[in-house]
């Protein structure tokens, strides 16, 4: 049994509560009591609640962004022509890898991403663009190559529709999975959900322009 330091205990408790209840509805006292650390240690180690939120997100993005980048880079290096399915596969693997990085990591990461987008009034978008702008640009480039029939603008919107499908579903995944179990008796995990959403968004992104 290894000893977990205070900083990590805070991050672990915070990410779970943030994903489940959102940032505004999660108090530092709730976090520190679940983490079994002192209240003041959050400000000592992270400075403020806002910086704690960024640290929680950064812990995932620092794993996810490089994995996605190398995955995308390998695609553009190896393939002469890329299609949309290949682009999505680049996303799936780094996403599912988060589940071995942390328990329920994929769900937590996508929930945090969704909540960050709708709760932070654009702060998160700015944070991601300034810290991980390179991989975002690469992703955009690859999607453009895979969909030469679509304009930049059309791709911009369809990627946001895609992001909406994924993060909205993930942000409510706990409740939705419970409903699905009650109504259909079907057990769905996060991997099943991702493989369910792929045909949906692949068809949407690659649909002909109107």
- Which positions touch DNA (CB under 7 A)? 5-6, 26-30, 37-45, 48-50
Q: How far is CA 70 from each of CA 90, 113, 152, 194, rounded to the nearest angstrom?
A: 9, 21, 23, 21
**Contacted entry of DNA, a copy of itself, none for residue 2, CB cut-off 5 to 8 Å set by kind:** none
**Contacted entry of a copy of itself, DNA, none for residue 33, CB cut-off 5 to 8 Å set by kind:** none
Decide if 202 contacts 103 (C-beta within 8 A).
no
Least Cβ distance, residue 30 to DNA (angstroms): 6
**Contacted entry of DNA, a copy of itself, none for residue 176, CB cut-off 5 to 8 Å set by kind:** a copy of itself
Least Cβ distance, residue 78 to DNA (angstroms): 44
**Contacted entry of a copy of itself, DNA, none for residue 196, CB cut-off 5 to 8 Å set by kind:** a copy of itself
DSSP assignments along 39-106, one per residue: TTHHHHHHSSHHHHHHHHHHHHHHHHHHHHHHHHHHHHHH-SS--HHHHHHHHHHHHHHHHHHSTTHH
Report the interface residues with a copy of itself, using CB under 8 A.
21-22, 24-25, 114-115, 117-119, 121-122, 125, 152-154, 156-158, 160-169, 171-172, 175-176, 179-180, 183-184, 186, 193, 195-197, 199-210
Least Cβ distance, residue 2 to a copy of itself (angstroms): 33
Helix (H, G, I), strand (E, B) or coil at 122: coil
Question: Residue 154 is inside which H or E element, if any?
Answer: helix 152-171
**Contacted entry of a copy of itself, DNA, none for residue 59, CB cut-off 5 to 8 Å set by kind:** none
Residue 47 or 192: the one with the smaller Cβ distance to DNA is 47
Residue 37 or 72: the one with the smaller Cβ distance to DNA is 37
Residue 96 or 176: the one with the smaller Cβ distance to a copy of itself is 176
Structure tokens at 113: 């991403």
Residue 50 or 160: the one with the smaller Cβ distance to DNA is 50
Q: Is the Cα torsion angle 38, 39, 42, 43 positive or negative in sign?
A: negative
What's the distance, Cα to Cα, between the start and end of the chain in Å?
A: 59
Least Cβ distance, residue 49 to DNA (angstroms): 4
Structure tokens at 166: 């994924």
Q: Which of 140, 138, 135, 144 is nearest to 83 (CA)?
A: 144
């Amino acid at each position: 049994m290894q000893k977990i330091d205070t900083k990590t205990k805070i991050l672990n408790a915070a990410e779970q509560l943030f994903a489940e209840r959102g940032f505004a509805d999660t108090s530092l006292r709730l976090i520190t009591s679940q983490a079994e650390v002192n209240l003041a240690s959050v400000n000592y180690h992270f400075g403020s609640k806002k910086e704690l939120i960024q640290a929680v997100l950064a812990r995932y993005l620092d794993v996810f962004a490089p994995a996605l980048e190398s995955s995308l880079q390998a695609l553009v290096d190896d393939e002469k022509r890329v299609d949309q399915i290949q682009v999505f596969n680049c996303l799936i693997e780094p996403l599912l890898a988060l589940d071995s990085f942390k328990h329920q990591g994929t769900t937590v990461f996508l929930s945090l991403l969704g909540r960050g987008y709708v709760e932070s009034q654009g702060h998160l978008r700015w944070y991601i663009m300034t810290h991980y702008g390179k991989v975002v640009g690469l992703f955009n480039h690859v999607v453009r190559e895979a969909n030469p029939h679509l304009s930049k603008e059309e791709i911009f919107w369809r990627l946001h529709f895609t992001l909406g499908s994924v993060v909205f579903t993930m942000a409510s995944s706990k409740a939705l999975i419970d409903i699905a179990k009650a109504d259909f008796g079907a057990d769905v995990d996060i991997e099943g959900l991702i493989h369910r959403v792929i045909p949906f968004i692949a068809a949407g992104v690659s649909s002909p322009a109107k």
